[in-house]
């Protein structure tokens, strides 16, 4: 067994006490897809155009399950071989995730296909990790070095089951962004959970649609590269979780309606606007105010329901687009005004793209490639804030046989200003994962306007 010593931040964010935890690797296994009820895949799986534009990184998510028996010697155990078997069966349907990326067009799917499943223990209580608002400290439940990073020798899907002293456990999933977006990740987690919980039952395998290349045909050049800077990891970046409870969201919406006349701003609009305003204010407060740059806010949109005919939610791939709102006069930017601008941009986006054909969407993506390159290169001299909302994705419904998770987190991205939103437990409120430069975070997390509506728990 391999032992790795790690320093973890204590669960209380006010405390400066550091807890020393010990991570012990129990096993690391390669899991092959089971093709017992489906024919083997072809020799390769072609990526779609939007897949080609993604960097080779992992989308990391972790589910925390408490020991409901409150007895560390008698946890709700599911043998690791049950997880192995269910993963093997689900990979039969999601077989590109067991393949190997060879270029920017093809995923090789042959007799060497495999995913990776790791089992480990951490010598601490689950709450010390799950309740810590500093997401960087929670990365111990992920396979080492993988969250939002790429390793050429790794599988396209890597999972880790981590056991805590209290009998609680965490199951983390790292899925290649080349093959999948957040909705695919959500669907896969749900299908794997169902297959594990219903072990032994004769349930049909899931039926995801492998149609990314047929819906959005790729550029037929394996050497084509159009990766952008959004997923470039940066030093001195720290990710923290901020919780917006339902009552606070109602107050935010009422504040916007009272000052702008927008009758029903969305939860996502008010949260992203407040984060953007406070983060940009924090960034400008640590530099010369006269030299502060304008900013642009970018919102990622799931295009599946907008395309005509609609793309199934079971389609594997990256079916996303985005709209951006530049803010040049940031000194006078108010929260309600920011929501108003975001709302206008959203309405314009949906007016343009609702009912668009897949062919028309592909042409729009092709036309925007050079623009996206320029924005990523920094030539536009803008501070970029990117938000992807996975609200209404049922991450908290994933029951592997341990009940529903108590906490769901995304791994610390290390990518400055790339914000992720998900629903809280039982659909209550919104949890925001906010990565900022460490100096900016020190100012941001003490902003009175932010703390009026957001908390750490």
Q: Which residues are designated catalytic?
A: 177, 399
Neighbours of 20 (CB within 10 A): 10
Q: How many CA atoms lie within 13 A of 251 on its CB side?
A: 12
Cα–Cα distance measured from residue 405 to residue 280, given in angstroms and rounded to the nearest whole number: 33
Neighbours of 201 (CB within 10 A): 8
Handedness of CA 126, 60, 273, 275 (dihedral sign): positive
Neighbours of 309 (CB within 10 A): 8
Cα–Cα distance measured from residue 452 to residue 430, given in angstroms and rounded to the nearest whole number: 15
**DSSP string for residues in 106-137:** EEE-STT--EEEEEEEESS-THHHHT-SBGGG
Q: Compute the CA torsion angle 60, 63, 64, 67 (nearest 10 deg).
A: -140
**Nearest in space to 39 (alpha carbons), one of 210, 214, 156:** 210
For 281, the token pair is: 């204010």
């Amino acid at each position: 067994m391999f032992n790795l010593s790690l320093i973890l931040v204590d669960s209380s964010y006010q405390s400066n006490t550091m807890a020393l935890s010990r991570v012990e690797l129990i096993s690391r296994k390669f899991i092959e897809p089971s093709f017992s009820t489906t024919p083997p895949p072809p020799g390769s799986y072609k990526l779609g155009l939007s897949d080609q534009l993604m960097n080779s990184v992992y989308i990391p998510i972790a589910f925390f399950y408490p020991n409901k028996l409150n007895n560390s010697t008698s946890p709700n155990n599911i043998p690791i071989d049950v997880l192995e078997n269910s993963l093997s069966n689900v990979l039969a349907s999601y077989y590109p995730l067991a393949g190997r990326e060879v270029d920017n067009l093809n995923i090789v799917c042959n007799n060497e296909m495999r995913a990776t499943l790791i089992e480990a223990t951490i010598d601490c209580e689950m709450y010390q990790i799950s309740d810590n608002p500093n997401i960087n400290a929670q990365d111990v439940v992920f396979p080492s070095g993988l969250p939002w990073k790429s390793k050429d020798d790794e599988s396209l899907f890597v999972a880790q089951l981590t056991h805590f002293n209290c009998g609680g456990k965490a199951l983390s999933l790292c899925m290649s962004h080349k093959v999948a977006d957040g909705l695919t990740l959500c669907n896969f987690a749900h299908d794997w959970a169902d297959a594990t919980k219903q072990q032994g039952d004769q349930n049909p395998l899931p039926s995801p649609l492998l149609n990314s290349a047929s819906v959005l045909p790729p550029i037929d050049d394996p050497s084509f590269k159009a990766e952008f800077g959004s997923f470039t990891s940066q030093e001195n970046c720290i990710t923290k979780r901020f919780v917006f409870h339902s009552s606070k969201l109602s107050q935010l919406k009422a504040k916007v309606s009272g000052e702008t006349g927008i009758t029903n701003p969305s939860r996502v609009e008010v949260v992203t606007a407040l984060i953007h305003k406070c983060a940009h204010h924090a960034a400008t407060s640590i530099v010369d105010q006269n030299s502060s740059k304008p900013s642009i806010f970018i919102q990622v949109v799931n295009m599946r329901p907008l395309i005509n005919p609609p793309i199934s939610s079971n389609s594997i791939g990256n079916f996303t687009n985005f709209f951006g709102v530049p803010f040049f006069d940031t000194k006078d930017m108010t929260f309600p005004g920011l929501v108003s601008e975001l709302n206008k941009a959203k309405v314009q986006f949906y007016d343009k793209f609702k009912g668009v054909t897949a062919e028309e969407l592909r042409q729009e993506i092709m036309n925007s490639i050079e623009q996206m390159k320029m924005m990523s290169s920094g030539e536009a001299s803008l501070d970029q804030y990117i938000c992807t909302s996975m609200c209404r994705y049922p991450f908290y419904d994933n029951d592997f046989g341990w009940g529903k998770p108590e906490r769901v987190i995304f791994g610390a991205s290390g990518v400055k200003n790339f914000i992720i939103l998900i629903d809280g437990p039982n659909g209550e409120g919104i949890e925001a994962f906010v990565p900022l430069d460490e100096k900016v975070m020190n100012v941001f997390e003490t902003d009175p306007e932010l703390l009026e509506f957001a908390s750490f728990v």
